[in-house]
Structure 1
């Protein structure tokens, strides 16, 4: 009896051991032609129903309770592959071949599309699955960026593909030149067989509190060729992409999400495949804009899980041919059985507008999210104004720190890239040369303990024609507490020297508390407006300064204190003294029949800029605004102080500006600028408001700012309000295969008035009590090349101030834009 019991126990244990046994198999899926990994490949086990998918790097791991006899690999656009498994395999290298292109099928679609039911369920559950709806979360992200050349031109796994067929020519080949070219090609081939063009890594901690408090701290950064990088390459663009939003931000553009409300009426969805993961079903759906639907759309794949109808994988790229240089892929997992969250993101770039020896640079960014916590204990007070910053020792992290956070070890090509480019960087002092990127943001080029101020190298306007000069400031190499600087420039038309000097003290860096003392002998636009903290970039699409010709010669000295408080508010206060001499011959009646053209002002000034929930990145040793979804407001108050420091005029001056951009689901974007000003008291035209006109018969260009049919000095006001309204339809109104201009409708209007206008002499002007109106249409992107585009526009002036001759109310302009 005991023997029977022992046998039964052994048989029962053996049965459970068999049931508990798991069969595992790992592998990698690749494109058979380019050898690049294929993400999200569907893998069916033993003809189903169970299966899995490859991850964002093409890797897969199969766990099965029954022996694995056969695997079926399928991927949209590729031939399916069935593979018999013998049981001896430990790792599989799967190469899938692109499906041959057949003639376009004529498909009769039934009234019922099975993909629509799944898409509608996923759309209905967006709020439950969107990570942005979580109250709080934190994670750590490792990001790697690799740059090389177009795989179509340079295949790092097959260097023979570098040999291209020579172009036909009628000229006899130059033997020496051909030999030199061949040597250069061989040298480049050898270099890229062993190295990438560029390699960078970063590790950062991210924290979030709903609705939009973000904080990212860079713990480590490494960039090939640089010893002391002052920046890190982060996955900020791919992080901002969320398929659960109505409108998704995709690398500088806005697109309608395939999971937006009513997307089945805009997108062509097709159920391509179905796989199973345990009790869950994964629906693989392709999407692209429907034929005949003109909107900014994406194309790609959605893998939707029946577990909460959440997105498990997404592939997205622009549907426009010229935009197909960027492709994004995201992989989500359910964290702790609670919520779906992105754990892997990859972005591929092809720079189509740049060629190096007929080769296109390409870049691949991979981000891996770990330490994901959906229930952290965060406090709002810990979120400061700077949302992205880099730790001072981020570039000094030891190799064991990197090894702990990398998802995989560096391969031989990556190790060689660091070794080769770091050696080359030290040899040519690449750190010093790379600071030109800092100059783009800071407008200063450091040279030892001083920096060259790029603002003063060259200026163009109608008064000076061309000004050339030089500006210098001390930098943090000399002192982080103070900065001393100056500039000088010579205008060729007015044949006059301008110069200035300033001294600033950084009293408290965390709040940007700064004291600045300034003295200048320069020119200013008469009746122009200067707002606090309004700093255009070095390369700007605002061309209005080029056409301004009515200038005042100004001697200026001031002392200002500025600070950032309450996270989103910048404040400035100070005292300034100015002597203005108009260049136009203007005179102002200061007493009965007594006129002056030399004005002395003393002003107490207070100004503010408020940008609610603005995100700021601390990079290149400077704060860089990442923008905000809320209005940005500027306010300024100036009080003229009579009999104080030679001040001759008493008045109160108020200035305001509000900017806001609205993104519409299917109609493009609208930009609204509201400006206004009021002067109460005794002040000459130099300190009032001109009409902000931008029309000049000699320069038929769209200036971006101001009224396009109004001359700069045509109107004068001591109180005014203006509205600038621009709606960018993008390519929504017209789009064809080979021609897709971007259309923008513009309407500007202003009202103003002026008291005691008879006191202003020798200045031809009108006032705007009846309202000034103009409207126009810009047809942009008619010609595109590199990082710029050219178009045409037309504006029409109407209302009480229209001109008698019909054609005189039109202004035909050239539009130009610079993009990066």
Structure 2
């Protein structure tokens, strides 16, 4: 869903400070930058230079002097005036370093961090306090600093044949004019945060999103930075890093003392940490302020300096009665870093343009070079160690029914500072822009399309049903869909009809359902289906088939069975962090190929089955949000699990035989900020009893029996065995594993940027009672099946090329028969 959450940021194009000082702190001898130097104004405000020694100080009123200190260096001070555009501060080294801190004979920074780790249990509010609750106010803006943008109107000379003419470029001027008046995007929210029995929950009491009557809920649920600084993993912008105070932190980080400073009147060590591996361009680094008496964190700055410049700042207040520091404020910021390619974040709709061009010349700066995202959160009204019962603790974020209808007096109560003129104009400007450009309806349209539906008034047409092809039906032409909220919020009708040009048969489905509980999004319904399905294919009822313009694998499948089914079902999210379907079905099956099933000497060419099925998807590490319109997964985390159990009911409605099926799947995925991705998939299945071949396992083959490699070229699937021939293997029990690692796209030529993916797949299986299955010749997977290959995806306009090789015990005698060359296609919807 994050693919569309920020779509509107650039459909529309920090509070501007009254006084600003920019500069850099350097070593006076080597001229090297000094990261995280302490800067103090003459009226006591304290700031820190960044990882490159640079500082950008903004205050509401002017100051005349700035004091700079850095441990091991002599302090310095400079006079400030309005004429200072950029200040370079040089510090000279002291002869005796680290006299301020002496802790034994060890590197003092390491000794202090050891104390921090040893005292985490006593300093972590989520362990020290039995419960707590507080209110928080958050403001998130996408904006730019007007002072950074040149207002010059450029003249560009353009050659055309023998003539030369001038083209006026006023984009910077227009952008500065806009950003002086308003932000590009703005949202506010007020929340009640509760903690008890190791559960942390946010209840959104009020939310206000510029331009939208109903906010985009996924934006409200973004976890931009960790709440706790004491967890072993620290999360910054959807990526988890080993924390600098994890129990094994010393294997990943180097530590250095920078200074000793006062934080809220208590002396603290400033300790700089940096990832040891220089190859990690996006490694975590920053500064920890350590209370000298309790060794608790009194402030923290976490930073990723790479293709994006991402920073998270945590500030705390000291609670003397509990002797701990409690989080009181968070700041999160994203600006463009050093990157050669276009960078898309949060699903691909905030974009920072790349620096390179075909001629390798530095391009002109665009709007994205000036824009940044800034989020500020302030906590207040803290109460702790009181009896507290959290309702529905498995819901991470819950939105109050009245949250989107709060009057202005509500916001005036909770805002820490009144809105300045830019923020006020942002609401007015974006409200009119969103209405004028119909952005809400376009977002609704985008949500539907990305899930495979085309909204048509009160009916959403299913794009999957329009057109497909396979070797049995030929061209399958159809129409289908489901009614939407405009028809009814508590009742829906869905169905489809299709016709195969090769088999000359109509297929159809009709289902009716009604919602019985809004909170758990529970629906009860019934359906009738007359259709065909690939034999021995495993599908989980709870998993919705992903939307594809084309589905390549079924093109070459010839073996199907017809099924006519009556079913009734309950679909619910009642169990925490799960989605499930409970189904009873009566089905008549007719194989559409030469097959007989032998059960106790009786040969079945068609059969009747009455089954009970439960299909469940469990995402224990994901976070969920309860909105007024239903429950959504706001933070998709891995691993995820799927279970399915099917049991025939032998004494009900002429059931022909008895069996049980157990299916299991787990998937893991890790994305990296540099564009790489690793994914793992494990599947297993077990069928017990008298199970016909139509309902066994084939482990998704995707190769056709043609003479040459070229003749076997088709489109590759997502998890299919590309070198395994159709109907080559069947199993009553199997285990399947897939490994994929995708690298960052590489520019070969202009518009040619392939994505290299390494793939390995393997499977083992067995066939019990093979004598029952008469008609098809097949092999078993008891010796295992292995294939590996590479995918060069998106070489040009979404088209790619893949190559796989079959090896191991089931390798074929001819070398060329073990090779599969396939085409791939990735469709970018731009959402």
After TM superposition, the score normalised by the length of structure 1 is: 0.75
- SS in structure 2 of the partner of residue 123 of structure 1: helix
Alignment-derived partner of residue 109 in structure 2: 115
- Counterpart-to-counterpart distance in 1, 2:152 and 2:499: 52
Residue 483 of structure 1 deviates from its aligned partner by 0.8
Q: Please, which of 188, 202, 211 is the counterpart of residue 225 of structure 1?
A: 211
Unaligned runs of 5+ in 2: 1-16, 25-34, 51-55, 92-96, 99-104, 337-341, 344-350, 354-364, 672-676, 745-752
Q: Give CA-to-partner distance per residue, 1:326-346, whole Å, 9 cap, x none.
A: 333322333455433332222
Q: Please, which of 379, 391, 399 is the counterpart of residue 389 of structure 2?
A: 379
- Counterpart-to-counterpart distance in 2, 1:393 and 1:605: 39
Q: Please, which of 5, 22, 40 is the counterpart of residue 32 of structure 1?
A: 22
- Counterpart-to-counterpart distance in 1, 2:254 and 2:160: 50
- Counterpart-to-counterpart distance in 2, 1:458 and 1:347: 46
Instruction: Point out the more displaced range, 411-420 or 547-556.
Output: 547-556
Alignment-derived partner of residue 611 in structure 2: 603
Alignment-derived partner of residue 693 in structure 1: 701
Cα 1:816–1:474 change in 2 (3 A) is closer
Structure 2 residue 379 is the aligned partner of structure 1 residue 390: no
Cα 1:469–1:240 change in 2 (3 A) is farther
How is 1:449-528 mapped onto 2 (pairs within 5 angstroms)? 449-456=458-465, 469-489=478-498, 498-528=507-537
Alignment-derived partner of residue 657 in structure 1: 664
- Counterpart-to-counterpart distance in 1, 2:21 and 2:504: 66
- SS in structure 2 of the partner of residue 710 of structure 1: strand
Instruction: Point out the more displaced range, 165-174 or 426-435.
Output: 165-174
Q: Give CA-to-partner distance per residue, 1:209-229, whole Å, 9 cap, x none.
A: 344x34322222222221233
After TM superposition, the score normalised by the length of structure 2 is: 0.74
Q: Please, which of 313, 319, 327 is the counterpart of residue 311 of structure 2?
A: 327
- SS in structure 2 of the partner of residue 637 of structure 1: strand
Q: Please, which of 746, 754, 762 is the counterpart of residue 768 of structure 2?
A: 754
- Counterpart-to-counterpart distance in 2, 1:120 and 1:59: 35
How is 1:249-260 mapped onto 2 (pairs within 5 angstroms)? 249-260=235-246
Residue 675 of structure 1 deviates from its aligned partner by 1.4
Alignment-derived partner of residue 295 in structure 2: 309
Query: Given that residues 133 and 193 in structure 2 are in contact (C-alpha distance below 8 angstroms), is that contact kept between their aligned partners in structure 1?
Result: yes
Cα 1:809–1:408 change in 2 (3 A) is same
- Counterpart-to-counterpart distance in 1, 2:327 and 2:800: 39
- Counterpart-to-counterpart distance in 2, 1:684 and 1:219: 55
Structure 2 residue 188 is the aligned partner of structure 1 residue 201: yes
How is 1:591-670 mapped onto 2 (pairs within 5 angstroms)? 597-612=605-620, 615-619=623-627, 621-625=629-633, 626-627=635-636, 632-639=641-648, 641=650, 644=653, 649-659=656-666, 661=668
Alignment-derived partner of residue 349 in structure 1: 334
Structure 2 residue 700 is the aligned partner of structure 1 residue 684: no
- Counterpart-to-counterpart distance in 2, 1:145 and 1:570: 32
Q: Give CA-to-partner distance per residue, 1:522-569, whole Å, 9 cap, x none.
A: 332211122242336547999867776643343333111234444355
Residue 418 of structure 1 deviates from its aligned partner by 0.9
Cα 1:395–1:684 change in 2 (3 A) is same
Query: Given that residues 721 and 761 in structure 2 are in contact (C-alpha distance below 8 angstroms), is that contact kept between their aligned partners in structure 1?
Result: no
Structure 2 residue 38 is the aligned partner of structure 1 residue 42: yes
Alignment-derived partner of residue 274 in structure 2: 288
Cα 1:576–1:279 change in 2 (3 A) is closer
Query: Given that residues 553 and 580 in structure 1 are in contact (C-alpha distance below 8 angstroms), is that contact kept between their aligned partners in structure 2?
Result: yes
Query: Given that residues 231 and 246 in structure 2 are in contact (C-alpha distance below 8 angstroms), is that contact kept between their aligned partners in structure 1?
Result: yes
Alignment-derived partner of residue 157 in structure 1: 147
Structure 2 residue 121 is the aligned partner of structure 1 residue 127: yes
Residue 634 of structure 1 deviates from its aligned partner by 1.0
Unaligned runs of 5+ in 1: 1-26, 63-67, 86-91, 103-107, 732-738
Cα 1:802–1:440 change in 2 (3 A) is same
Q: Give CA-to-partner distance per residue, 1:314-362, whole Å, 9 cap, x none.
A: 333435x33x253333223334554333322222234743368943253
Cα 1:777–1:470 change in 2 (3 A) is same
Alignment-derived partner of residue 286 in structure 2: 300
- Counterpart-to-counterpart distance in 2, 1:767 and 1:75: 70
- SS in structure 1 of the partner of residue 423 of structure 2: helix
Query: Given that residues 749 and 771 in structure 1 are in contact (C-alpha distance below 8 angstroms), is that contact kept between their aligned partners in structure 2?
Result: no
- SS in structure 2 of the partner of residue 178 of structure 1: strand
How is 1:38-117 mapped onto 2 (pairs within 5 angstroms)? 42-44=38-40, 52-53=46-47, 71-73=66-68, 82-83=77-78, 97=86, 113-117=107-111
Residue 519 of structure 1 deviates from its aligned partner by 2.2
Alignment-derived partner of residue 140 in structure 1: 135
Cα 1:675–1:132 change in 2 (3 A) is farther
Query: Given that residues 68 and 77 in structure 2 are in contact (C-alpha distance below 8 angstroms), is that contact kept between their aligned partners in structure 1?
Result: yes
- Counterpart-to-counterpart distance in 1, 2:419 and 2:257: 38
- SS in structure 1 of the partner of residue 217 of structure 2: coil
- SS in structure 1 of the partner of residue 219 of structure 2: coil
Instruction: Point out the more displaced range, 219-228 or 597-606.
Output: 597-606
- Counterpart-to-counterpart distance in 2, 1:495 and 1:99: 80
- Counterpart-to-counterpart distance in 2, 1:742 and 1:290: 28
Query: Given that residues 460 and 483 in structure 2 are in contact (C-alpha distance below 8 angstroms), is that contact kept between their aligned partners in structure 1?
Result: yes
Alignment-derived partner of residue 785 in structure 2: 773
Alignment-derived partner of residue 735 in structure 1: none
Cα 1:386–1:312 change in 2 (3 A) is same
Cα 1:334–1:773 change in 2 (3 A) is farther
Cα 1:456–1:662 change in 2 (3 A) is closer
Alignment-derived partner of residue 10 in structure 1: none
Alignment-derived partner of residue 167 in structure 2: 178
Residue 484 of structure 1 deviates from its aligned partner by 1.4
Query: Given that residues 142 and 373 in structure 2 are in contact (C-alpha distance below 8 angstroms), is that contact kept between their aligned partners in structure 1?
Result: yes
Cα 1:158–1:318 change in 2 (3 A) is closer
Residue 494 of structure 1 deviates from its aligned partner by 6.5
Alignment-derived partner of residue 192 in structure 1: 179
State the aligned residue count. Answer: 739
- Counterpart-to-counterpart distance in 1, 2:804 and 2:125: 45
Residue 773 of structure 1 deviates from its aligned partner by 3.4
Residue 172 of structure 1 deviates from its aligned partner by 6.7
Query: Given that residues 316 and 328 in structure 1 are in contact (C-alpha distance below 8 angstroms), is that contact kept between their aligned partners in structure 2?
Result: yes
- Counterpart-to-counterpart distance in 2, 1:636 and 1:288: 49
- Counterpart-to-counterpart distance in 1, 2:446 and 2:133: 31
- Counterpart-to-counterpart distance in 1, 2:628 and 2:497: 26
- Counterpart-to-counterpart distance in 2, 1:207 and 1:789: 49
- Counterpart-to-counterpart distance in 1, 2:803 and 2:69: 50
- Counterpart-to-counterpart distance in 1, 2:472 and 2:195: 51
Q: Give CA-to-partner distance per residue, 1:647-673, whole Å, 9 cap, x none.
A: 562222222214265999xxx988462
Alignment-derived partner of residue 594 in structure 2: 586
- Counterpart-to-counterpart distance in 1, 2:126 and 2:627: 25
Residue 272 of structure 1 deviates from its aligned partner by 3.0
- Counterpart-to-counterpart distance in 2, 1:535 and 1:252: 25
- SS in structure 2 of the partner of residue 748 of structure 1: strand
Cα 1:414–1:721 change in 2 (3 A) is same
